[in-house]
Amino acid sequence: MGRRSSSVAANLVKIDQGLCHETLKRRQRQFRHLFPESLALRTHRALSWLHRAEQEHDDHDARFIFLWIAFNSAYANEIQDRARFSEKRLLLNFLHRLIDSDTDQLLYNAVWHHFPESIRLLIGNRHVFQPFWDYQNGRIGEDDWQERFARKNAAATRALGRIDTRKVLAIVFDRLYVLRNQIVHGGATWHGTVNRSQVQGGANILAFIVPIVILLMMEHPEKNWGCPCYPVVERNKR
């Protein structure tokens, strides 16, 4: 399916100028009989949360949360994997598999044609850089976090200059992961008046990338996307 449908994937993105739940759900219904059970469950769950996210237009906090759950539904692996590898490493491995599958360069286009300025602003925002908060909480010194910030931003600038999609996406999701932690773990106020740009910008980036992630997984059912942490259990079993 993957080889035959790569041009179809590009056409879907081109026609819709970005994918939506309705388009992806139609495609999922058309081809889900070809999916392994684990992939069918992942895409079903991810699409359900994408649908919910699309109902939020003004509440960027809620939209970000629902989009992150959709993304998590797609990539989260079995708990045994989490015991061996860190969450960030699992996330990076997943992104690498996606990029390797992206023969139509959908993620490349998302990074370099749709959100280059938003990505630069996100990378340059100290409020989504974890060492900045480590400094605020007294874990490291001011010079330490500033040195790390400068070093990471220099690496990001080099990656942007080389048009290194893999590296840039890794940096973007590293920053989005910090934002996710702030919101999900109660480190931010709902609809607060401070630091709102990263929430709206992060939600916009996820709203474009998450549907591409789901599409790439569906277009490549032959790949091992891993088993979900929480498979469906029959109701009559206890």
| pLDDT exceeds cutoff 70 at 71 | yes
| pLDDT exceeds cutoff 90 at 13 | no
Q: Minimal CA–CA distance to 102: which of 227, 209, 228, 226?
A: 209
CA-based radius of gyration for the chain: 18
The pLDDT, as a whole number, for residue 238 is 46
The pLDDT, as a whole number, for residue 16 is 47
Detail the DSSP E strand segments found in 115-220. Answer: none
How many other CB atoms sit within 10 Å of the CB of residue 13? 20
Give the model confidence (pLDDT) of 84-99 as tens digits.
556 777 788 888 889 9
What would the mean pLDDT of 25-39 be, rounded to a whole number?
Answer: 94
Give the model confidence (pLDDT) of 146-169 as tens digits.
999 999 999 999 999 999 999 999
End-to-end Cα, the chain, rounded Å? 37
Among 5-9, 50-54, 59-63, 143-147, the minimum mean pLDDT is found in 5-9
The pLDDT, as a whole number, for residue 79 is 44
The pLDDT, as a whole number, for residue 192 is 83
* Chain length of the chain: 238
